[in-house]
Structure 1
Amino acid sequence: MNQLRSDPLITWEPTEIRRPTYPDVPAQIAATASEAHACLSIQAYRGAVALARAVVEATAKHHGITQGQLVTKIDRMHAEGLIREITREVAHEIRHGGNEIAHGDLADEPMPSEDAEAIVEFMDAILQEVYQGPARMRDLQRRRQERKDRNSE
């Protein structure tokens, strides 16, 4: 029987995998966003970008925007007031990066780490704008109302 043994020449990379949580984001979208960060941690840049694109599309679908290609869904999210103009532009950059991977248009050179990192940061900004910011604002309003109600008793 072979036993695992500790070998001082073996090292594990990465030493840490980043998997943030998104408590105010629907579970499947949050898990996919967290996985995009994990991909960055192991330098799987194409995987990170493809997952970031999936998060954008899933966000649109979660809000009932299911028709058309992602370009149309992003523009509808903006038209319906879910995202600001700058966020619409950011979402299109995520779409472009993800499309290169999803459609097999792989460049001769690997995806630069700074591009993948920026795309995942932009994905986080979208989740912040669509889910997390509004949830924190509602919590703040609820706490204020509770204080007001206690003071009026």
Structure 2
Amino acid sequence: TEEVKRQNLMRKELAWLRRGAPARTSKPRFRIEAANALIADVPEPRDSTELMKFANARLGKTVFDLEDVTVTAGPKTLLQHLTWQLGPGDRVGLVGVNGAGKTSLLRALADAAATQGEKQPPAGRVVVGKTVRLAYLSQDVTELPGQLRVLEA
């Protein structure tokens, strides 16, 4: 919001400076200095201190290695023979129809991470990196306190 306000003010100031007659040299100096200050006052693209909170622990080369994994939900087999390596810094999007096994796969990863690889899926093997600390937010968002705003939570 602050960046949008800054951009709008900068746009108005620059438009005012452009509207002046080219021969006119008596433009108020404070308006020119204010416009230059707005242009120079570009904030950092991200809050580096907030990002450092997430990167306080080193993540090793192994995050998750799935070998020939089968994911089930009750009697129904959702995924079979899944081999997947998830490394540090990987960003993944799971896409599929309802009931395809997206959430069940994430739950299997979360179970393996919570038990440091002790709890395994019905078939196959999940290897969890030693430095992995998984943060999981369910679809129901029951982990977040209801009274807090998203950024506060």
Q: TM-score range by the shorter chain?
A: under 0.3
TM-score relative to the length of structure 2: 0.26
Which has the larger helix fraction?
A: 1
Tell me which of the two structures has the higher relative contact order, counting C-alpha pairs closer than 8 angstroms and 6 or more residues apart.
1
Which has the larger strand fraction?
A: 2
